[in-house]
Amino acid sequence: MTLGTVRGWLRGANRIAVLTGAGMSAESGVPTFRDAQTGLWARFRPEDLATEAAFRANPGNVWDWYAMRRQMVAGVAPNAGHIAIARFQQRHPGRLTLITQNVDGLHERAGSTSVLALHGRLLDDKWLDPPRACCLAQPPLDGRPPRCAACGNLRRPAVVWFGEMLPPEVLAAADEAARTCDLMLVVGTSGVVYPAAGLARAAATAGRMVVVNPEASELDDTAHAVLRGTAATLLPQLLQEEP
């Protein structure tokens, strides 16, 4: 399938969904999730760091991994792919539902609205255990991680770790969008992580599902079209208005 064919499908689609993964932010300089970990974390698989058990076992190490990622994300900018999606949403209010597995906040920074963030947000924190009155009575003590001065409850990144439920209302909205769309663009995801990848499969049944990825992914065999290219190159070509 060519770019032109998919552009034709998009023109005829009233309800568009876009599902993005880590590859969406690669051209902004954010390493993809399954890229080799760098530095201190080179010997860990992300699946082994992004879990509650890992955090409880070694809170400082996991907290530092997130602090490093926060610092990296603070220093990058949305790329042409993020901007193309945001501009399309502005030109066609309500026609494109954006679902992301990413926690970097770059879609919002590009101007996208009502982003369905399946896996939470890197820059937000929450209490590890349900907060008691003491946790809410004063700011947490600074530290790696910060903690409640009275009971020691830890702060943790407000992201969804492996083995944790996705926010039910976000997942329900994403599921609804996937099951009722005419077309879903699946951009920059290996299609390994569930239930996110299941949304792409649901969209392939409801309408057309198009993969945008420079490499092969687990979703290629279910796609109606596979466009071999990057987010920052192909999304502006797919989503820009006719000249």
Binding ligand BV8 (rule: CB under 6 A), the pick from 28, 89, 97, 230 is 230
Cα 21 to Cα 37, 49, 92, 193, 213: the distances in Å are 17, 18, 23, 10, 10
Binds ligand BV8 by CB under 6 A, chosen from 30, 62, 106, 159: 159
Can you point out the beta strands (E) in 101-235?
116-117, 120-127, 155-159, 183-187, 208-212, 225-227
* Out of 217, 225, 227, 238, the residue judged to bind ligand BV8 by CB under 6 A: 217
Under rule CB under 6 A, which residues in 110-129 are in contact with ligand BV8? Answer: 119
Report the catalytic residues. 119
Please give the Cα distance from 21 to 79 (Å, whole number).
Answer: 14
- Strands 120-127, 155-159: pairing is antiparallel
Among 10, 23, 84, 112, binds ligand BV8 (CB under 6 A): 23
**Which residue in the set 6, 128, 213, 227 belongs to the binding site for ligand BV8 (CB under 6 A)?**
213
Outline where DSSP puts E strands in the chain. 16-20, 96-100, 116-117, 120-127, 155-159, 183-187, 208-212, 225-227
Minimum CB separation from ligand BV8 for residue 14, in Å?
A: 26
Shortest CB 182 distance to ligand BV8, Å: 22
Q: How far apart are the first and last CA of the chain?
A: 22
Minimum Å gap between C-beta 27 and ligand BV8 is: 5
Among positions 43-82, residues that touch ligand BV8 (CB under 6 A) are 47, 50
Cβ–Cβ < 8 Å for 124, 158: yes
Taking CB under 6 A as the criterion, the residue among 9, 33, 55, 88 binding ligand BV8 is: 33
| 26 sits near ligand BV8 (criterion: CB under 6 A) | yes
> Between 37 and 180, whose beta carbon lies closer to ligand BV8?
37
Q: Which is nearer to ligand BV8, 32 or 61 (CB)?
A: 32
Residue pair 156/126 in contact (Cβ under 8 Å)? The answer is yes
Under the binding rule (CB under 6 A), the answer on residue 162 touching ligand BV8 is yes
Please check whether residue 236 is in contact with residue 84, taking contact to mean a CB–CB distance below 8 angstroms: yes
Residue 38 tokens, joined: 């760098």
* 218 part of the interface to ligand BV8, by CB under 6 A: no
The CB-of-203 to ligand BV8 minimum distance in angstroms stands at: 16
Residue nearest to ligand BV8 (CB): 23
**Share of the chain residues as helix, strand and coil, in percent rounded to the nearest 5:** 45, 15, 40
Binding footprint of ligand BV8 on the chain (CB under 6 A): 21-23, 26-27, 32-34, 47, 50, 101-103, 119, 159-165, 187-190, 192-194, 213-215, 217, 230-231
